[in-house]
Structure 1
Amino acid sequence: MLNSLVNKYNIAGPRYTSYPTVPYWNNETFSLKKWKSSLIESFEESNSKEGISLYIHLPYCESLCTFCGCNKRITKQHGVESPYINAVLKEWDLYLELFDEKPIIKELHLGGGTPTFFSPENLKLLINGILKQAILASEYEFSFEGHPNNTTREHLQALYDVGFRRVSYGVQDYNETVQKAIHRIQPFEHVKQATDMARAIGYTSVGHDIIFGLPFQTLGHVKETILKTKALLPDRLAFYSYAHVPWIKGNGQRGFNDSDLPSAELKRQQYELGKQLLFEVGYKEIGMDHFALTTDSLYESMVNGNLHRNFMGYTASKTQAMIGLGVSSISDSWYGFAQNVKSIEAYYDLLKNNILPVYRGHILNEEDLIIRKHILNLMCRFKTTWDQNSLYFDEISEVVSRLQEMKIDGLLNIGSNTIEVTKKGQPFVRNICMAFDLLLQRKQPDTQLFSMTV
């Protein structure tokens, strides 16, 4: 039965870290002026109540991992660090000029690329430069993505000293054949050492990222990886499907053939096996493709109904405004999205001329905001509701009609003004959200834009 559902619903679809999704942004009606206005409005509404979030993209890597779809620059020349940090701090200065008061930082995340490509000293310089013009929220959370092969004790200590308490390590898979295919050779001992060091220093949440559906990956490989992961017991896990999007120019996903990838049926078996093994040692499923121990803040936020999802994935708390700094970073004012240029050279040129390095975006209209809330509800709580006064929109009856077959298949329950995803339907929540995605429904893409939903 499960395999037949996988075959039926395994189609290309968004991961819904935003709505509208990036391919459906209306760049023709977007402008830098509108973006600034939307951010100022959001900041004035929310800064004193909840603070803001910051995402900083650090794009450099010493080698290319062929599973990665992120924006990165491959180099072994570490002289690139200082100019880049200076540029990020310049961009921060340009944003600060928009605000009448100091921002209160609630969340800060370093992503990449490889953040630990940068030296501990330069990372401290970056964070201190951000914080000297801001206020820390009473319960702030700083996190970064660490590479187990090059995250040193000095990196962990330096970031701990400036407020970081959470780190996530990209594990992917422990099998050597799979690691060679994705060009990510890292023995279990490296991950164990990096995990143990973080805990010894005082990090309160250590996460691991594991991927299923990788080239040459078998059920046995997934089992081996999960069993080794259980031995380290990370506080939270991202256990998600490999997003094969080689048509995105320059993302590096060309180190293997499509025929080397597991079938949709095998991918779902890998997921179900991994999930069962994680449940056996006390992990709880969080939203889609995430797991946490009951002591972790991600689980607590799910229980309390505060789980949030944005371009950083699932987060334990919500801020209305999120500013993305660095090349390709995406900012979110709630009322609008803005993405930075992807070229480091273009990024530098715009900042040199005191221009925010935004090259595209979307200003949300009233319909967008309503649909965004529905999709957030489904992704974070597996349930959404509406009535004539709240979250109602004219095409809701058409959405319900599109969901009827999923109801018959047992993926969800439909009430008079409620949609609730069943346990059976949770692996297909992306498909359910697609029924609400009015922009996607009105204009189906001519070419494949998204990874497969399963």
Structure 2
Amino acid sequence: MNTPLHLIDKYNVAVPRYTSYPTVPYWDADNFNTDHWKNSVKFSFNESNEADGISIYIHLPYCENLCTYCGCNTRITKNHTVEEPYIKAVLLEWAMYRNIFGQKPVIREIHMGGGTPTFFSAGHLKVLIDGILMHSTLHPDAEFGFEAHPANTTTAHLQILHDLGFRRLSLGIQDFDPAVQLIINRIQSFDQVKTVTGQARKIGYTSINFDLIYGLPLQTSTGLSATIQQVAQLMPDRIAFYSYAHVPWIKPGQRKFTEHDLPDAYTKRHLYNTGRDLFTDLGYKEIGMDHFALPTDSLYHAEQCGTLHRNFMGYTHQYTQLMVGLGVSSISDSWYGFAQNVKSVEEYVKLVNAGELPVFKGHMLTAEDLIIRKHILNIMCTGKTSWNHPQHQCEALLQGIERMQLLADDGLIELNSGELSVTQSGKRFLRNICMALDARLWADKPSSQLFSMAG
């Protein structure tokens, strides 16, 4: 179903991606300190560790080259002597969290992101994961995954991480069009991707994801279609099909190109429709926002069963209440609070070597925040939510429901007594729908652009 042009124009506004609520710019520094955070972690751990286990995200920031589209926290260097001291620092931070827990954690999920995790040698990654697992218990449904650059992922990386329990691999493709690859400085050939994918499957990886981006500079529907035709030769289990977030005021590397190099809102929406239609023709099912999966993949099964979950690592098929983020700039989530680590590698290493938890900001959720957060999570994961029970209601929610009437009038949602559901047309506008409930944003509208555009 193609989206009407007037709706594309109307809802192409700056909108958060809602990997958290409240979103990071609206965290309240006045109600946060390190002691509050530690108490929140301990409380959440005691509540959930035995039954659900915990998730761990490890941020590995190093890259040899700057991809100019990238919005992640990265450090560009070709000096690989940085690997060992950084891993030691991450393991020191993990020891601090184990001290907060007071007992062995049950690990349900590990995800390594970046940066480029495969910047690190296979041997150093083994030291890292061995250090994490050494003082832990594995959940029976434990699942490990990592992000990789096709151009530097070796058989040794794949084999050693598989031996450590990794079964999910995510390859950053973005686009195979040479002109697009050149302007975003992300160069990898189809043959490299084919080789890594084949090696991973031969070794025993059970879920392979390709990251693709629409809305990149110089991107065309013809070039994107050709990219997807190549992807179809490999048929990854999952595809993350993200909208390019143009935020040059945050990421100066994006100033290598200008807005004139980017597709306009209508063209960008056509790019998305092209990709979605081609993925559907290939047998992929649309999952939540920006994701597609084959019917054999666990992400699809989770959506069908209503157990799909979303956190700072993205969509996952299993839920943990506590997610610990390790490494520079990582964000942790206790459900009752968020905390972000310092963003400088030097400051991060200095703090952990001094025995200090390296968080520099965070937010402790209020009762109202928890209610709004749950509704936004429901919308992002299941496309519906309800507030029939008094414990699911608050004044801010009711004000948000009033704002949603405009979305209902445009056919993006259906509002009934005490519940809403996202329509097929509305799936393209999940971020806009969630924004209607964002009490903190509406109470303090930004005077300058904080978020990427929805289109």
Task: Give TM-score, length-normalised by structure 1.
Answer: 0.99
The question of whether the paired residues in 1 share the 8 Å contact of 2:388 and 2:419 is answered with no
- CA deviations 1:53-89 (Å, max 9, x no partner) are 0000000000000000100100001000000000000
Per-residue deviation, residues 374-406 of structure 1 (Å, max 9, x unmatched):
000000001000024331112333222211121
Match of 2:444 in 1: 443
Quick one: distance in 1 between partners of 2:99 and 2:182? 47
For the structure 1 residues 251 and 301, does the alpha-carbon distance in structure 2 shift closer, same or farther, using more than 3 Å as the test?
farther
Residue 143 (1) aligns with residue 145 (2): yes
SS of corresponding position for 1:342: coil
Q: Which residue of 171, 174, 187 maps to 1:172? A: 174
Provide the C-alpha distance between the structure 2 equivalents of 1:116 and 1:183, rounded to a whole number of angstroms.
17
Gapped regions of structure 2 (runs ≥ 5) = none
Give unpaired runs (5+ residues) of structure 1: none
Kept after mapping to 2: 8 A contact 1:71/1:251: no
Match of 2:361 in 1: 360
1:99 maps to which residue?
A: 101
1:413 aligns with 2:401: no
Q: Residue 425 of structure 1 aligns to a residue in which SS?
A: helix
The residue number in structure 2 matching 1:304 is 305
Identify the residue that residue 218 of structure 2 maps to in structure 1. 216
1:23 maps to 25
**Aligned partners of 1:142, 1:324: CA distance in 2, in Å?**
14
C-alpha distance in structure 2 between counterparts of 1:405 and 1:336, whole Å: 32
The correspondence of residues 397-408 of structure 1 with structure 2, limited to 5 A, is 397-408=398-409
Q: 1:51 is aligned with what amino acid?
A: G
1:69–1:251 CA contact under 8 A, matched in 2: no
Q: 2:236 aligns with which of 234, 237, 242?
A: 234
Identity between Structure 1 and Structure 2 (%): 57
Contact 2:309-2:317 at 8 Å conserved across structures: yes
CA contact (8 A) 2:167 2:207 kept: yes
Distance in 2, matches of 1:400 and 1:335, equals 24
Take 1:348 and 1:219, find their aligned partners in 2: how far apart are those partners? 44
| Cα separation, 2, equivalents of 1:448 and 1:350 | 32
Quote how far apart the aligned CAs of 1:129 are.
0.5
In structure 1, distance between residues paired with 2:244 and 2:319: 26
* Runs of at least 4 residues off by over 6 Å: none
Amino acid at match of 1:334: W
> Aligned partners of 1:86 and 1:270: how far apart in 2?
43
Q: What does residue range 269-348 of structure 1 map to in structure 2 within 5 Å?
A: 269-348=270-349
TM-superposition CA deviations, 1:18-68 (whole Å, max 9, x none):
000000000121100000000000000000010000000000000000000
Distance in 2 of aligned mates of 1:99 and 1:26: 25
Q: Which amino acid aligns with 1:90?
A: L
Q: Which residue of 1 aligns with 2:157?
A: 155
Letter in 1 for 2:414: N
Residue 190 (structure 2) aligned to one of 165, 188, 191: 188
Aligned-residue offset at 1:100: 2.3
Shift of 1:415: 0.4
CA distance in 2 between counterparts of 1:107 and 1:12 reads 32
Say what the alpha-carbon RMSD is for the aligned residues. 0.9
Distance in 2, Cα, partners of 1:352 & 1:239: 39
* Aligned mates of 1:405, 1:56 — CA distance in 2: 41
Residue in structure 1 matched with residue 40 of structure 2 by the alignment? 38
Provide the secondary structure at the position in 2 that maps to 1:436.
coil
Work out whether residues 368 and 396 of structure 2, in 8 Å CA contact, stay in contact via their aligned partners in 1.
no
TM-score normalised over the length of structure 2: 0.98
Aligned partners of 1:434 and 1:397: how far apart in 2?
14
Residue of structure 2 equivalent to 1:391 = 392
2:336–2:364 Cα contact (<8 Å) kept: yes
Q: How many angstroms does 1:157 deviate by? A: 0.3
Q: Partners of 1:25 and 1:255 in 2: how far apart? A: 31
Supply the distance in 1 between the matched residues of 2:254 and 2:105 (Cα, whole angstroms).
Answer: 38
Contact persistence 2:397–2:439 (CA under 8 A): no
Q: Are the counterparts in 2 of residues 70 and 251 from structure 1 also a CA contact under 8 Å? A: no
Query: Secondary structure of the residue that 2:131 maps to in structure 1?
Result: helix
Native 8 Å contact 2:384 2:420 kept in 1: yes
* SS of residue in 2 equivalent to 1:207: strand
Residue 128 (structure 1) aligns with: 130
Match of 1:64 in 2: 66
